[in-house]
Protein backbone atom coordinates (compact mmCIF):
# COMPACT_ATOMS: atom_id res chain seq x y z
CA UNK A 1 0.00 0.00 0.00
CA UNK A 2 1.35 3.40 -0.93
CA UNK A 3 2.05 5.63 1.99
CA UNK A 4 2.70 9.09 3.26
CA UNK A 5 4.21 8.81 6.70
CA UNK A 6 4.37 11.63 9.20
CA UNK A 7 6.92 11.12 11.91
CA UNK A 8 4.73 11.94 14.91
CA UNK A 9 1.02 11.60 15.57
CA UNK A 10 1.06 13.89 18.60
CA UNK A 11 3.64 16.48 19.58
CA UNK A 12 3.84 18.96 22.44
CA UNK A 13 6.38 21.77 22.23
CA UNK A 14 7.13 24.91 24.18
CA UNK A 15 6.76 28.44 22.89
CA UNK A 16 9.94 29.57 21.17
CA UNK A 17 11.19 26.08 20.35
CA UNK A 18 12.28 25.17 16.85
CA UNK A 19 10.03 22.37 15.64
CA UNK A 20 10.58 19.93 12.79
CA UNK A 21 7.69 17.99 11.27
CA UNK A 22 8.85 15.24 8.98
CA UNK A 23 7.00 13.67 6.08
CA UNK A 24 8.14 10.76 3.93
CA UNK A 25 6.43 9.25 0.89
CA UNK A 26 7.26 5.98 -0.83
CA UNK A 27 5.53 6.60 -4.17
CA UNK A 28 8.26 8.53 -5.99
CA UNK A 29 5.88 11.49 -6.24
CA UNK A 30 7.15 14.79 -7.57
CA UNK A 31 4.84 17.03 -5.57
CA UNK A 32 4.58 17.36 -1.81
CA UNK A 33 2.49 19.64 0.36
CA UNK A 34 2.00 20.82 3.90
CA UNK A 35 -1.43 21.87 5.15
CA UNK A 36 -2.74 22.84 8.54
CA UNK A 37 -6.29 22.17 9.62
CA UNK A 38 -8.16 24.15 12.24
CA UNK A 39 -11.82 23.97 13.30
CA UNK A 40 -13.92 26.33 11.22
CA UNK A 41 -11.04 27.19 8.88
CA UNK A 42 -10.67 23.94 6.97
CA UNK A 43 -7.41 22.88 5.37
CA UNK A 44 -5.03 25.69 4.48
CA UNK A 45 -1.95 25.27 2.32
CA UNK A 46 1.30 26.32 4.00
CA UNK A 47 3.98 25.33 1.49
CA UNK A 48 4.37 22.97 -1.41
CA UNK A 49 7.23 21.60 -3.46
CA UNK A 50 7.19 20.25 -6.99
CA UNK A 51 10.79 19.10 -7.11
CA UNK A 52 13.79 18.50 -4.91
CA UNK A 53 15.15 21.73 -3.47
CA UNK A 54 12.17 23.63 -4.87
CA UNK A 55 9.51 25.22 -2.71
CA UNK A 56 6.54 27.50 -3.18
CA UNK A 57 4.60 29.47 -0.61
CA UNK A 58 1.01 28.52 -0.06
CA UNK A 59 -1.68 30.63 1.50
CA UNK A 60 -0.28 30.90 5.04
CA UNK A 61 3.54 30.56 4.97
CA UNK A 62 4.29 33.07 7.72
CA UNK A 63 6.14 31.52 10.63
CA UNK A 64 7.03 28.40 8.67
CA UNK A 65 9.78 27.19 6.40
CA UNK A 66 10.33 23.94 4.54
CA UNK A 67 13.12 21.74 3.34
CA UNK A 68 13.20 19.18 0.56
CA UNK A 69 16.68 17.73 0.18
CA UNK A 70 15.47 14.37 -1.12
CA UNK A 71 12.51 13.55 -3.31
CA UNK A 72 10.81 11.39 -0.73
CA UNK A 73 11.13 13.72 2.25
CA UNK A 74 9.51 17.09 2.89
CA UNK A 75 10.05 18.78 6.22
CA UNK A 76 8.06 21.60 7.77
CA UNK A 77 9.96 23.82 10.18
CA UNK A 78 8.50 26.13 12.77
CA UNK A 79 11.41 28.47 13.45
CA UNK A 80 10.05 29.70 16.79
CA UNK A 81 6.87 27.94 17.77
CA UNK A 82 3.99 30.04 19.01
CA UNK A 83 0.66 29.08 20.57
CA UNK A 84 -1.23 30.12 17.43
CA UNK A 85 0.59 27.36 15.58
CA UNK A 86 -1.21 24.75 17.65
CA UNK A 87 -2.99 22.77 14.95
CA UNK A 88 -3.32 19.55 13.00
CA UNK A 89 -0.63 19.40 10.32
CA UNK A 90 -1.20 17.26 7.24
CA UNK A 91 1.35 16.28 4.64
CA UNK A 92 0.38 15.11 1.16
CA UNK A 93 2.05 14.01 -2.04
CA UNK A 94 0.94 13.62 -5.65
CA UNK A 95 2.41 12.49 -8.93
CA UNK A 96 0.65 15.15 -10.97
CA UNK A 97 -0.08 18.80 -10.46
CA UNK A 98 -3.70 19.78 -10.15
CA UNK A 99 -6.14 17.85 -8.01
CA UNK A 100 -5.76 14.23 -8.98
CA UNK A 101 -4.75 11.50 -6.63
CA UNK A 102 -3.30 13.30 -3.65
CA UNK A 103 -2.27 10.92 -0.87
CA UNK A 104 -2.36 12.36 2.63
CA UNK A 105 -0.63 11.29 5.79
CA UNK A 106 -2.52 10.71 9.01
CA UNK A 107 -1.52 14.07 10.43
CA UNK A 108 0.48 15.44 13.33
CA UNK A 109 -1.44 17.14 16.09
CA UNK A 110 0.93 19.79 17.42
CA UNK A 111 0.27 21.58 20.67
CA UNK A 112 2.44 24.57 21.56
CA UNK A 113 2.32 25.48 25.23
CA UNK B 1 -9.83 27.74 -8.89
CA UNK B 2 -13.56 28.07 -9.29
CA UNK B 3 -15.52 28.66 -6.10
CA UNK B 4 -17.58 25.68 -4.99
CA UNK B 5 -20.63 25.66 -2.73
CA UNK B 6 -21.76 22.62 -0.75
CA UNK B 7 -24.40 22.13 1.93
CA UNK B 8 -22.76 22.04 5.37
CA UNK B 9 -24.36 18.77 6.42
CA UNK B 10 -26.47 15.85 5.21
CA UNK B 11 -27.81 12.63 6.65
CA UNK B 12 -28.30 9.35 4.86
CA UNK B 13 -29.71 6.01 5.96
CA UNK B 14 -27.34 3.07 5.88
CA UNK B 15 -27.73 1.05 2.70
CA UNK B 16 -29.32 3.91 0.80
CA UNK B 17 -27.67 6.05 -1.85
CA UNK B 18 -26.02 9.22 -0.62
CA UNK B 19 -26.21 12.09 -3.12
CA UNK B 20 -23.92 14.98 -2.32
CA UNK B 21 -24.40 18.13 -4.40
CA UNK B 22 -21.84 20.73 -5.35
CA UNK B 23 -22.33 24.02 -7.13
CA UNK B 24 -19.48 25.39 -9.24
CA UNK B 25 -21.20 27.91 -11.47
CA UNK B 26 -18.00 29.81 -12.31
CA UNK B 27 -16.05 26.76 -13.43
CA UNK B 28 -13.91 27.35 -16.50
CA UNK B 29 -13.49 25.05 -19.46
CA UNK B 30 -10.23 23.44 -18.36
CA UNK B 31 -11.15 22.92 -14.71
CA UNK B 32 -11.92 19.48 -13.40
CA UNK B 33 -14.15 18.63 -10.47
CA UNK B 34 -12.42 16.60 -7.75
CA UNK B 35 -13.96 14.95 -4.73
CA UNK B 36 -12.12 14.06 -1.55
CA UNK B 37 -13.37 12.94 1.82
CA UNK B 38 -11.97 13.13 5.31
CA UNK B 39 -12.93 10.61 7.92
CA UNK B 40 -12.53 11.88 11.47
CA UNK B 41 -8.89 12.02 12.65
CA UNK B 42 -7.52 10.96 9.26
CA UNK B 43 -6.07 12.79 6.28
CA UNK B 44 -8.30 13.44 3.26
CA UNK B 45 -8.76 10.63 0.76
CA UNK B 46 -9.16 11.02 -2.99
CA UNK B 47 -12.49 9.68 -4.31
CA UNK B 48 -13.06 10.60 -7.93
CA UNK B 49 -12.73 13.38 -10.50
CA UNK B 50 -14.22 14.38 -13.84
CA UNK B 51 -14.30 17.05 -16.53
CA UNK B 52 -17.67 16.78 -18.26
CA UNK B 53 -18.55 13.13 -18.62
CA UNK B 54 -20.02 11.10 -15.81
CA UNK B 55 -17.46 8.97 -14.03
CA UNK B 56 -17.66 5.84 -11.90
CA UNK B 57 -15.10 3.94 -9.90
CA UNK B 58 -15.18 1.42 -7.08
CA UNK B 59 -15.93 4.09 -4.53
CA UNK B 60 -18.49 6.38 -6.12
CA UNK B 61 -20.10 7.91 -9.18
CA UNK B 62 -19.78 11.51 -10.30
CA UNK B 63 -22.55 13.15 -12.28
CA UNK B 64 -21.71 16.50 -13.88
CA UNK B 65 -24.47 18.58 -15.43
CA UNK B 66 -24.25 19.38 -19.10
CA UNK B 67 -23.51 23.05 -18.41
CA UNK B 68 -20.90 21.94 -15.84
CA UNK B 69 -22.20 24.37 -13.26
CA UNK B 70 -22.95 21.67 -10.73
CA UNK B 71 -22.20 18.07 -9.92
CA UNK B 72 -23.35 15.28 -7.63
CA UNK B 73 -21.27 12.67 -5.91
CA UNK B 74 -23.17 9.43 -5.43
CA UNK B 75 -22.27 6.77 -2.90
CA UNK B 76 -24.58 3.99 -4.10
CA UNK B 77 -24.94 2.03 -0.86
CA UNK B 78 -23.77 4.15 2.03
CA UNK B 79 -22.27 2.44 5.08
CA UNK B 80 -21.46 3.79 8.52
CA UNK B 81 -17.82 3.99 7.43
CA UNK B 82 -18.80 6.56 4.81
CA UNK B 83 -19.51 9.09 7.56
CA UNK B 84 -17.02 11.86 6.75
CA UNK B 85 -16.59 15.40 5.48
CA UNK B 86 -16.79 15.45 1.68
CA UNK B 87 -14.96 18.14 -0.26
CA UNK B 88 -15.75 19.24 -3.80
CA UNK B 89 -12.93 21.12 -5.53
CA UNK B 90 -12.73 22.65 -8.98
CA UNK B 91 -9.27 23.27 -10.33
CA UNK B 92 -7.28 22.90 -13.51
CA UNK B 93 -4.80 20.05 -13.96
CA UNK B 94 -1.34 21.44 -13.66
CA UNK B 95 -2.52 24.26 -11.44
CA UNK B 96 0.41 25.66 -9.57
CA UNK B 97 -1.87 26.49 -6.67
CA UNK B 98 -2.85 22.89 -6.16
CA UNK B 99 -5.85 21.88 -4.09
CA UNK B 100 -7.82 24.39 -2.08
CA UNK B 101 -10.21 22.78 0.38
CA UNK B 102 -13.39 24.56 1.37
CA UNK B 103 -15.57 23.62 4.33
CA UNK B 104 -17.19 20.60 2.65
CA UNK B 105 -20.30 18.62 3.55
CA UNK B 106 -20.48 16.58 6.73
CA UNK B 107 -22.23 13.36 5.70
CA UNK B 108 -23.60 11.30 8.56
CA UNK B 109 -24.76 7.80 7.71
CA UNK B 110 -27.40 6.69 10.17
CA UNK B 111 -27.98 3.06 11.18
Taking the C-alpha atoms of residue A75 and residue B92, their distance in angstroms, rounded to an integer, is 27
Which regions in chain B score pLDDT beneath 50?
none
At residue B14, the 3 state secondary structure works out as coil
pLDDT digits 0-9 by tens, A28-50: 999 999 999 998 888 899 999 99
More confident residue, A86 or A54: A86
More confident residue, B86 or A54: B86
Q: Could you tell me which of A47, A91, A51, A56 has the C-alpha nearest to residue A71?
A: A51
pLDDT at B102: 83
Query: Is residue A108 within 8 Å of A11, Cβ to Cβ?
Result: yes
Residues of chain A positioned with their CB less than 8 A from the CB of B102: 42
> What is each CA distance from A84 to A16, A18, A63, A107, B98, in whole angstroms?
12, 14, 10, 18, 25
Confirm or reject contact between B57 and chain A (CB < 8 A): no
Confirm or reject contact between A39 and chain B (CB < 8 A): no
More confident residue, A54 or B1: A54
Angle among Cα A8, A10, A15 to the nearest 5 degrees reads: 105
pLDDT at B95: 67
Whole-number average pLDDT of chain A: 93
Among A97, A100, A106, whose Cβ lies nearest the Cβ of B96? A97
A43–B44 CB contact, under 8 Å: yes
Amino acid sequence: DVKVTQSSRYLVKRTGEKVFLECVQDMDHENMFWYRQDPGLGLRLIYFSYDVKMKEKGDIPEGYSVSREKKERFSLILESASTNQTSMYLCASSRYRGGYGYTFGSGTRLTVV
Amino acid sequence: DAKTTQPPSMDCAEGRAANLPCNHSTISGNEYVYWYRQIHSQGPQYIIHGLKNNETNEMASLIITEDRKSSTLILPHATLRDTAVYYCIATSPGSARQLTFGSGTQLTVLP
